Structure 1
Amino acid sequence: MTEAAAKRALALDGSDMGGFYLKIQQYKTTRANRVPDFAPKIVEGYNRIYIGNLSWDITEDDLKKFFSDCNISSIRWGTDKETGEFRGYAHVDFSDNLSLLMALKLDQQIVCGRAIKISCAVPMKGAKTYNFFYTHNHRQ
């Protein structure tokens, strides 16, 4: 949209459209200045990440290929507890801290057409801070 067109659109603010009144405001971006509400810190010995905004079609092989430079020990898919349906996120455990650090640097990269969110996973209260080994399940 050109600046002139934007000014014309803004001039219509408050106009009557068949009994409805238009509210037109300039778009303000806050994304660039936005500070994440919650950014978990690395917990020594806890080499698990959270990955969000995953494609509904992603597979275990897709994640393994994406993290090919990292030593994955397990992948757990986020599922609905009642229906078992995939909820668009996963937790990945790595066998070493270097792999965790490399994985964190891949935040916002495109996987299966979507910019994924990668952050440290938050240990459950009372959880031991060592790697857990789960069997690979679900989305193969």
Structure 2
Amino acid sequence: MLSRLIKKSGKKAPKTPATPQVQSTGSKTLFVSNLSFSIQKEDVEHFFKDAGEVVDVRFSSDADGRFKGFGHVEFATPEAAQKALKVNGKDLLGRAVRLDLARKRGAYTPYNGKESNSFQKGGSQAQTIFVRG
């Protein structure tokens, strides 16, 4: 019926807006976990050599400088990072690595103090402490 009305009026039917395709985050960095504690940066670079150019490898460590078993690998392009995701679950020094795209800095982090239910916000609320025993 709408098409008959449009034909009579001589106007074109409005175009339905196309739904934009979901695009990747464009992150060039992968979060890499389940790494061997004897791993070296050269091992990681060799592991990802088929995906593309590795720009940087950063291992996470605790306050004492001990390796935590995970880190971040930065690639030259987002396409290389996407290609590197295909080796998720493959063995690197006897351990199946787990890969995920890293979030950009400034992304949500839990308990960052911006939540509205933070107990540290003083304001006009009275603070009560209950001590037992």
TM-score by length of structure 2 reads: 0.59
Q: Structure 2: which 5+ residue stretches go unaligned?
A: 1-22, 108-133
CA-CA distance at 1:125 after TM superposition: 1.1
Residue 65 (structure 1) aligned with residue 58 (structure 2)? no
Match of 2:34 among 43, 47, 53: 53
Q: Share of identical aligned residues, percent?
A: 27
Residue 78 (structure 1) aligned with residue 60 (structure 2)? yes
Aligned counterparts of 1:42 and 1:56: Cα–Cα separation in 2: 31
Structure 1 residue runs of 4 or more that deviate by more than 3 Å after TM superposition: none
Higher radius of gyration, 1 or 2: 2
TM-score by length of structure 1 reads: 0.57
* Superposition pairs of residues 95-110 of structure 1, within 5 angstroms: 95-110=76-91
Answer yes or no: is the 8 Å Cα contact 1:42–1:120 preserved in 2: no
| Structure 1 residues 114 and 83, CA gap change in structure 2 (3 angstroms) | same
Aligned counterparts of 2:38 and 2:87: Cα–Cα separation in 1: 20
Aligned counterparts of 2:54 and 2:83: Cα–Cα separation in 1: 12
